[in-house]
Structure 1
């Protein structure tokens, strides 16, 4: 049994479609119940629609309880939900929603669904190549060091970052201009923290690369090199179901290659 968040369109929908060919039951989730139902209606019958807003802690815990009652254990979780950014809005106007979805949403999913994974289950966090400590100045790196921090620590760091952006202090404190960079670093750090205690489960962050979606198009003048969602999903699904190299565990993986953390 597999669960995919942010799955009613784009990459998430493609991941669900491909998983449905190899997994008995796939839960397609998203925050809008009608859109989730419409997306699932055109897919195979083993795809089940469930409303899940990862910014609502009660949504996450309630769905985890329901699925535990139905299945006891999960085989695969793909944490793919992501907030859409707009070039027309300031960073201060968007950073709280971004972090609540991408970062706190990821840690909520780990806390609620990690314990439900089978001993050989897999948990993937969809991130990007921005999710490397090399993208941050030295003075900020220890705040994301997965050898020391906890999920609670990461939540605190990201909320502090939100406050810094909203109050105009982010640049003074050394944060990059582009708010997606700290967010992606935080997501990969969360996967690394979880991987430390995964006890046989495979946990990794995955970078699908540039994908031609409605979320991506406003940021790129030329999308000719972008993958379709179905092309990009193949890499994600391969990490979810195929044999994987042990060196990928806890890392950010793109096209079967590790993007170095440091």
Structure 2
């Protein structure tokens, strides 16, 4: 049997670290779980802190062309991948000015997502899973109806990237504030992430069904982290380890065909609109 290969982006802390830990514990000693992040020092420290022999660190900045380069490395090293969690995220606080942070924010959270999808979807082996960590904000119901057409029915990642660029530019030139866009940048960003999954799924659905591959977005729910605590009272929210459980089930349990191309929270599909 071929050894399995898993990869988690944004994995040096929080949910990403919990996903690596969970995968390492559930997969076998012959398998490899890649813990990735932008900082070589933080990647090295996170791998050491976990202490799993089957965890390997790699530097990966999704805001660059690094996903494509790492994908080619893993193709040469392993021939393919079995599980990919796209979890890399730039976090924002209530005091951040959207106009000042939107370039980096969109580069990591959205264009980074489509880079990962482009790079690693072609590497998925039979039975593989590619899961984008999103949130319940990734439903069109959180967006003004006049904006739904921007993200609904997109059929390519290029189309998604174009809409992200248009939204980003509207924030920078001030027209977003005067229009229907929500002030909380996380909402359009998460919708665009789910739209990217849906667009790629529309291209791959038939072949992925034949090969038992799952492509989905997943909502881990509210998590007790310092960043979430800036926005909400998360004192009673699950820890990253607890929140990771439903995502690990999506990656390791038998596939539910109803989940393909959808936003899934704790095994249930959240409506797109």
- TM range, normalised to the smaller chain? over 0.9
In the superposition, the TM-score normalised over structure 2's length comes to 0.92
Alignment correspondent of 1:245: 256
Q: How many angstroms apart in 1 are the aligned matches of 2:15 and 2:154?
A: 32
Query: Which residue of the partner structure matches residue 138 of structure 1?
Result: 145
| Residue 215 of structure 2 corresponds to residue 207 of structure 1 | no
Structure 1 residue corresponding to 2:189, chosen from 183, 186, 196: 183
C-alpha distance in 1 between matches for 2:105 and 2:171: 12
Q: CA deviation at 1:22?
A: 2.3
Aligned residue for 1:21, secondary structure, equals: helix
Name the structure 1 match of 2:15.
Answer: 11
Q: How does 1:1-262 map to 2 (within 5 A)?
A: 1-23=5-27, 24-43=31-50, 44-57=52-65, 59-145=66-152, 147-198=153-204, 199-200=207-208, 201-220=213-232, 222-262=233-273
Q: Is the 8 A contact 1:60 1:108 kept in 2?
A: yes
Q: Does the 8 Å CA contact 1:143/1:149 hold for their aligned counterparts?
A: no
Contact 2:225/2:234 (<8 A) preserved: no
Structure 2 unaligned runs (5+)?
none
Cα RMSD of the aligned pairs, angstroms, is 1.1
Larger helix proportion, structure 1 or 2?
2
* Secondary structure of the structure 2 residue equivalent to 1:205: strand
Name stretches of at least 5 consecutive residues in structure 1 with no aligned partner: none
Moved more, 48-57 or 210-219: 210-219
| 8 Å Cα contact 2:62-2:108 kept in structure 1 | yes
Q: Is the 8 A contact 2:154 2:160 kept in 1?
A: no
* TM-score normalised according to structure 1 size: 0.96
